[in-house]
C-alpha cells in the first residue's frame, strides 16, 4: 500500500504519543520507510529506543548538533510526506505562527512535501478559539487535518480531542497517496451519517443500562456507503466489535444524549442518514456521583425517556435528505414498522423481526424487510450483514439517486 513511500513522522508531547509506536509498526508493515523526529517534551511519553528499533532508523530530536542545518533541510526534502501524530496544542500553535525552536518545527518549515497532522488534546483546548484559529491557519497552508475523535481523554473527561486511531491515520495517508482508491461510485460527493451499537445510560460511576447490540449492522452499512463513494461519519456507541475506521470518520459516544447531540450537529450537512443504533429508550432520572451502596431490600430506579434521535432528525429533514431508521419488533411487525415510518418522518424503515432465525442482535446474519412510504415493501432473505448492507444501500440508491 505504502511501498517505497518515505514518511517522516513527527511526535510531539502528548499522552497520545503511546499510539505512535503502533503507528510506526503499521506504516513499516505497509511498506513505508519511516524516519522519526521527536520534540524534546515527547521523549517523556515514549522512548526513542522503541521507536528507533521499530523504524530501523535513529530517532532525531536535536536542532542544535553540528549536523542540524543539513538535518532539517535534507529531512524535509527526503520525505514524500510529513505526518505529525500526535500534534499537541503547543506544536500546533508554533506551526501556525512559524516558530522554530526545535528540529521538528525546522523540518516542518523547510519541507516541500505534503503535511498531515493528527491533533490530540483535551476538549476544552480543542474548542478554544485560539486552537480553532490555528487549525484554520494550518488548513490555509494546505496541511491536512485528520479529524479528532470523541471519547475518554487523558484528563478523565469525555469529549472531542482524542487522536485518531493508528489504523485510521494509515488509511488517511494511503487514501492521500492513491486517491483512485476512493473510487467514485453512485454516492460520490454525498455525505452520509450512520449510527451503530448500543448506548450506555449511567446509573452511577460503575453501573449502566445497556443492551446487546454489537454494532455489526451499522458498521457494515457505513462501510458499504463508503465503498459507493460517500463521505461517511459513523457515530458509534460502546459496541464490543473491533472496527478500523478505514477512511470513515468515526465518532465514539456513550449515552443516548451524546449520540443525540452529535447526530444533530452532523445531520444538517448529511445527504443520507441511517440510524441503526439500538438507542436506549429510557435513562435514569438521576445519575449518582458515587457508587450506590446496597442498603434497602428493594431499590427503585426512576427512568425518563431519552430523546428520539431518528424522530428529531425527521422533524429537521430538508428536501433531498434521505432518512432511514430501523425497527426491531417481536409482534405485529409490519404495523409497528409502518407506524415508525410515519411517526419519525423517515423515508425507509428497515424491519428485522426477532421471530426470524438469524436476525437481530449478536448474529452475523440478518433478515430484513424495507418499508417505504405508501405501504411499499421489499423483503430479503437471511444473509450475512455485509450482504444486507449492500441491499440497504442498493435500495437507497435505487429510490433516491438512480
Ligand atoms: N431511535 C433513536 N433514538 C431513540 C430510540 C430509537 O434514534 N431514542 C431509532 C433507532 O436507531 C431506530 C428507530 O429509532 O432506527 C427505532 O427504534 P425503536 O427503539 O425500535 O423504536 P421506538 O420508537 O423507540 O419504539 P418501541 O421502543 O416502542 O419499539
243-267 tens-digit pLDDT: 777 789 999 999 999 999 999 999 9
| Residue with cell string 455489526 | 216
Cβ of 306 below 6 Å from ligand 1: yes
C-alpha 339 chain-centroid distance: 32
Angstrom distances, CA of residue 334 to CA of 274, 349, 361, 379: 19, 10, 19, 11
d(CA 238, CA 253): 7
pLDDT the model gives residue 182: 41
Looking at residue 142, what is its pLDDT? 85
Between the two ends of the chain, the Cα-to-Cα distance in Å is: 33
pTM: 0.59
> What's the CA gap between 348 and 328, in Å, rounded?
14
Centre of ligand 1 from the C-alpha of residue 226, in Å:
24
Mutate to test the pocket of ligand 1, among 327, 328, 339 (most ligand atoms within 8 A of CB): 327
The pairing of strands 201-204 and 81-87 is unpaired
CA 328 to ligand 1: nearest atom? 20
Residue 74 banded pLDDT, cuts 50, 70, 90: confident
The residues pairing with 232 across neighbouring beta strands, listed in sequence order, are 192
Report the atom number in ligand 1 closest to the C-alpha of 277.
Answer: 11
CA distance 261 to 282: 16
Distance CA(355)–CA(361), nearest Å, equals: 12
- Distance in angstroms (rounded) separating the CA atoms of residues 48 and 52: 6
Kindly give the distance from the C-alpha atom of residue 283 to the centroid of ligand 1, in angstroms, as a whole number.
14
Q: What integer is the mean pLDDT of 276-288?
A: 97
211 part of the active site: yes
DSSP state for residue 79 in the 8-state scheme? -
pLDDT tens digits along 109-135:
988 889 999 999 999 999 999 999 999
Ligand 1 near 337 CB (within 6 A): no
Q: Note the pLDDT tens digit of each residue in 148-185.
A: 887 778 777 788 889 988 988 997 898 777 643 344 58
**Scanning the structure block, which residue is given the C-alpha cell 520507510?**
33
Selecting among 90, 182, 211, 264, the annotated active-site residue is 211
User: Hey, what domains does the chain have and what are their CATH numbers?
Assistant: 6-177 (3.40.50.1950), 185-400 (3.40.50.10300)
* pLDDT tens-digit readout, 351-364: 987 766 666 666 78
d(CA 182, ligand 1 centre) in Å:
33
Nearest Cα to Cα of residue 397 among 254, 230, 255 = 230
Under DSSP, the state recorded for 265 is: H
Q: Residue 317, CB half-sphere, CA atoms under 13 Å: how many?
A: 21
* Greater pLDDT, 182 or 369: 369
Q: In what order do the strands lie in the sheet with 81-87?
A: 33-38, 6-11, 81-87, 115-119, 144-145
Residue closest to 257 by CA, chosen among 208, 209, 197, 306: 306
CA 218–ligand 1 middle distance (angstroms)? 14
Amino acid at each position: 500500500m505504502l511501498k517505497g513511500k518515505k514518511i517522516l513522522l513527527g511526535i510531539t508531547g502528548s499522552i497520545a504519543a503511546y499510539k505512535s509506536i503502533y503507528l510506526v509498526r503499521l506504516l513499516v508493515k505497509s511498506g513505508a520507510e519511516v524516519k522519526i523526529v521527536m520534540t524534546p517534551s515527547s521523549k517523556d511519553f515514549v522512548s526513542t529506543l522503541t521507536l528507533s528499533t521499530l523504524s530501523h532508523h535513529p530517532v532525531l530530536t536535536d536542532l542544535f548538533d553540528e549536523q542540524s542545518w543539513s538535518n532539517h533541510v535534507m529531512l524535509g526534502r527526503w520525505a514524500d510526506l510529513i505526518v505529525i501524530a500526535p500534534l499537541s496544542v503547543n506544536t500546533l500553535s508554533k506551526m501556525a505562527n512559524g516558530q522554530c525552536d526545535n528540529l521538528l518545527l525546522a523540518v516542518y518549515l523547510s519541507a516541500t512535501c505534503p503535511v498531515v497532522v493528527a491533533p490530540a488534546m483535551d476538549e476544552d483546548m480543542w474548542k478554544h478559539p485560539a486552537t480553532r484559529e490555528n487549525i484554520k491557519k494550518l488548513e490555509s497552508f494546505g496541511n491536512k487535518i485528520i479529524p479528532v475523535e470523541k471519547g475518554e481523554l487523558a484528563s478523565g473527561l469525555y469529549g472531542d480531542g482524542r487522536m485518531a486511531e493508528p489504523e485510521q491515520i494509515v488509511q488517511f495517508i494511503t487514501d492521500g497517496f492513491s486517491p483512485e482508491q476512493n473510487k467514485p461510485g453512485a454516492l460520490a460527493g454525498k455525505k452520509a451519517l450512520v449510527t451503530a451499537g448500543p448506548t450506555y445510560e449511567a446509573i452511577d460511576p460503575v453501573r449502566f443500562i445497556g443492551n446487546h447490540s454489537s454494532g455489526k449492522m451499522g458498521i457494515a452499512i457505513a462501510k458499504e456507503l463508503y465503498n459507493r463513494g460517500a463521505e461517511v461519519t459513523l457515530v458509534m456507541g460502546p459496541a464490543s466489535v473491533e472496527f478500523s475506521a478505514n477512511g470513515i470518520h468515526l465518532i465514539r459516544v456513550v449515552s443516548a444524549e451524546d449520540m443525540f447531540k452529535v447526530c444533530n450537529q452532523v445531520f444538517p450537512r448529511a445527504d443520507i442518514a441511517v440510524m441503526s443504533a439500538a438507542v436506549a429508550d429510557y435513562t435514569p432520572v438521576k445519575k449518582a456521583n458515587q457508587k450506590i451502596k446496597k442498603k434497602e431490600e428493594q431499590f427503585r430506579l426512576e427512568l425518563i425517556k431519552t430523546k428520539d434521535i431518528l424522530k428529531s432528525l425527521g422533524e429537521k429533514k430538508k428536501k433531498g435528505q434521505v432518512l432511514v431508521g430501523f425497527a426491531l419488533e417481536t409482534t405485529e411487525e409490519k404495523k409497528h414498522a409502518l407506524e415508525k415510518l410515519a411517526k419519525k418522518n423517515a423515508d425507509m424503515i428497515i424491519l428485522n423481526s426477532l421471530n426470524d432465525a438469524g436476525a437481530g442482535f449478536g448474529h452475523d446474519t440478518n433478515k430484513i424487510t424495507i418499508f417505504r412510504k405508501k405501504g411499499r415493501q421489499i423483503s430479503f432473505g437471511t444473509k450475512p450483514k455485509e450482504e444486507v448492507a449492500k441491499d440497504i444501500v442498493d435500495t437507497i440508491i435505487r429510490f433516491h439517486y438512480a
